[in-house]
Structure formats: C-alpha cells, structure tokens
Chains A and B, each alone.
Chain A
Amino acid sequence: RKEVEQDPGPFNVPEGATVAFNCTYSNSASQSFFWYRQDCRKEPKLLMSVYSSGNEDGRFTAQLNRASQYISLLIRDSKLSDSATYLCVVNLYNQGGKLIFGQGTELSVKP
C-alpha cells in the first residue's frame, strides 16, 4: 500500500465548478500535511498547509481528519488557471522531516 494515495484523475470540470480532491495516508506518525500544486513540466509549489481545524485560503479549503487519516482539498469557483496537478504531501517528523508525496491528482478546467 502506498504511504500517500490520491485519485490520479484527470478531473475535467467547467469553469465555475466546485471540485474536491481526496487523499489518504497510511502512517499514523505523520505530523503535518500540505497540498502542493505542480504545473505541467514545472516544479511543485506549496499551495497551502493543512491544519487540524481545517483552513481556508480564498477559494481553497483544506480539511484534515486524523482519525480516518484523510485529507481533502476543495476548490470553489474553478478558474482556467487552476488547471494543474495537485499533490498531497505528509511530513514524517519522526524521520527527519521527510516529505512523502502522493502521485498527484490532475485537474483540467475547461471554458
């Protein structure tokens, strides 16, 4: 079983749609959680950290459920510029702060 699992997609949605990505992780020692965004053939960039109480940044909302070992990302009012691959990432603090990446979920927002 992969340590971090995501639905690879692709998710094809129209502009203005709401889309949700899910992620599960297997290591209960995971300490902190992130969503990174990766544009085609570019480097990953931090989108947002995920806090236990859930957090929001504009159109983006991240949720964490430690009991179920589940992380989600909700994008509201999708824009064409949101088209990218979204990477779910967990931090194994007890292993020197290593980040474990999911394989990514591809999003394509169409006009």
Chain B
Amino acid sequence: NAGVTQTPKFQVLKTGQSMTLQCAQDMNHNSMYWYRQDPGMGLRLIYYSASEGTTDKGEVPNGYNVSRLNKREFSLRLESAAPSQTSVYFCASSASGGAINTQYFGPGTRLTVL
C-alpha cells in the first residue's frame, strides 16, 4: 500500500517550458488536492477534485490546470512555467470532502523555474 505517490521528485524548468506533475493514490479515496508550499506562506490550495469527474479552483489556481484522469490519478499541469511557480508541490487525498477530512499527502515535487 503505497498511499499517495508523486512524480517527479525534483524538476528544473526554464521560463516558458511546460510540464505535468503526476499524482496517484491507492486508498480508494474520492477527493484529491494539489497544494504549493512556499517559505513563510504555509500550504495553499491550487485545485481540488471532490470526486472523479469534478475539479474546482482553490486559492491560487492561476497558471495551472488539472485533470482528474480517473479515481486514482490527479495531474497538475504548468503550461508556461514562471519563476513565481518555483515551489514545493504536494498532492493529497482524502476519503471525502466532509467534516472529518483527514488528508494524506504525497512526498512532494520540488520545482525550480529559472
């Protein structure tokens, strides 16, 4: 039982390049999330998917797109990377989006945009 996995672990991009961050969970969870974490800012929600087939914007969606490919997988795409997107990206999942909403996190992707 791997929990939440993310690929890649590290990535360096040049400004304007595109890339997709992959996330998968094997806990049969309905809800999945993408966060970014910057020093002194805490985790901020980029996009989330309450259930398969639905996605919604979070606090900082600009510059990103997501795809909930199936129940297991939720990808995050940067179409034209900018230095401001240098951050650590965490994917998370939870059984549901309800009040008792324990989220389980992947190990993170450390992205640097030059």
Contact = CB atoms under 8 A, between A and B. Distances in A.
Q: Are A and B subunits of one complex?
A: yes
Interface of A: 4, 8, 31-32, 34, 41-46, 49, 87, 91, 93, 96-99, 101-104
Contacts, number: 60
Contacts of B58: 98
B106 A103 contact: no
Given A96-B50, A97-B50, A8 B100 contact: no
Interface of B: 31, 33, 35, 40-45, 48, 50, 56, 58, 90, 94, 96-108
A43 B97 contact: no
Contacts of A34: 102
A93 B103 CA distance: 14
Of A42, A49, A87, A97, the most chain B CB neighbours within 10 A belong to A97
13 contacts: A43-B105, A43-B107, A43-B108, A87-B43, A91-B99, A91-B101, A93-B98, A93-B99, A96-B48, A96-B56, A98-B58, A101-B43, A103-B40
A103 B99 contact: no
Given A98-B48, A103-B41, A31 B107 contact: no
Contact of B99 (A31, A41, A44): A31
A51 to B, nearest CB: 11
A7 to B, nearest CB: 13
Nearest to A98: B45
Nearest to B105: A43
B112 to A, nearest CB: 14
B105 A102 contact: no
A42 B107 contact: yes
Contacts of B108: 41-43
Contacts of A4: 42
A97 B96 contact: yes
A50 to B, nearest CB: 12
Contacts of B33: 99
Nearest to B110: A41
Nearest to A6: B42
Given A43-B106, A97-B97, A87 B90 contact: no
